[in-house]
Amino acid sequence: MVAVSPPAKVLVTGANGYLAVWIVKKYFEAGYSVRGTVRSLSKSAFLKEQFAEYGERFELVVVEDITKDGAFDEAVKGVDAIAHTASPFHYNAIEPNELIIPAVQGTTSILNSALKHGTSVKRIVLTSSVAAIREVAPTPRDFDETNWNNAAVATVESKGSAAGPAMIYLASKTLAERAAWEFVAAHKAELKWDLVAINPPFIFGPSLSPAQTANDINTSQKEIYDTLTGARTGAQLRGEGNWVHVSIAADAHVRATHAAAAGGERIIVRSGYFFHQDFLDAAAELGIPNVPRGEPYSTGNLPRAANLVTTKAEDLLGLKATATLKDVVEESVKDFKARGYPGFAV
């Protein structure tokens, strides 16, 4: 186990993604230098402007197709650590391979490049997900880093596209993280670096990307936006899950880079639990106008289907839940207003 401390250089894949931009920000604030990969410089020019104050400590390189063998061969040269965030997250897949191939091959591609050409790499931090841990259970239960979402993989294997987009996503995250740990096991004798997996649930909080339309809102934040704009009603307001603030999720990656004891670990990070009705209740308490009320404060006695155990995040990374759901609703609405999203235009 090793620690990679500032002013080391970190490669952040998919650097223009919702979480990745926050990760880049946190690395800079901690004193690191960053090399980011993007699919297109033209669509990622905002990053150079946004982080202009860091000058030569920030560089961008183009990796058009993360699934290709050798895609990251040049990108990994000369960096001390890697944060691999580039992986699709959406519920629009029709065929399983739409998500599974880029998730799995993107992961093995970066690991192969690090093995063959990353002579200075000492730590790789993989953005995985609670999707790779939590199964749908018939009764409420605890989940920790020893659990795997084998049920999602089995469902997709048996049903194919009939499993549905959400199940396909869950399977893709499970298979991608499994592929990473299997790669490490298979090449253990050759590796000069170790692996850490960060497993966040839904990630909420404002975006650092430039103005975009409501159609471009990332999948996690869409849970809040759709609820506050009335797209979720009735029984849908009892939909639930765990969540983490985007700033905390990003900070977890930075801490996992320099915490020597984190090597070889999967680490769940979370801020709290939510029902969609809770977004409406928080909005009402904040006095946000034109937001549906739903069934106010009706979730208090509802069972929490999955409790995520965060002992490792606290012990290894020193992370504790600091943001509240009310905080994240307030921040998100402010962000929606600034972007002029329908229902929140100033």
pTM greater than the 0.75 cutoff: yes
Specify if 1 maps to a domain.
no
What angle (nearest 5°) sits at the alpha carbon of residue 330, between those of residues 21 and 301?
110
Per-residue model confidence as pLDDT tens digits over 274-319: 999 999 999 999 999 999 999 999 998 898 889 999 999 999 999 9
Specify if 344 maps to a domain.
no
* The dihedral sign for the CA sequence 310, 314, 318, 320: positive
Specify if 345 maps to a domain.
no
Specify if 3 maps to a domain.
no
The residue ranking higher by pLDDT, 98 or 345, is: 98
Q: Which residue range(s) make up the domain with 39?
A: 9-338
Specify if 255 maps to a domain.
yes
Given pLDDT bands bounded at 50, 70 and 90, which one contains residue 92? Answer: low
* CATH number of 289's domain: 3.40.50.720
| Side-chain half-sphere CA neighbours of 90 within 13 A | 15
Specify if 170 maps to a domain.
yes
The total domain count for the chain is: 1
Per-residue model confidence as pLDDT tens digits over 138-147: 788 899 999 9
Tokens standing for residue 308 = 């995520």
Q: How far is CA 336 from CA 58, 228, 266, 276, 285, in A?
A: 28, 11, 33, 18, 18
Specify if 73 maps to a domain.
yes
Specify if 116 maps to a domain.
yes
Residue with tokens 């797209």: 231
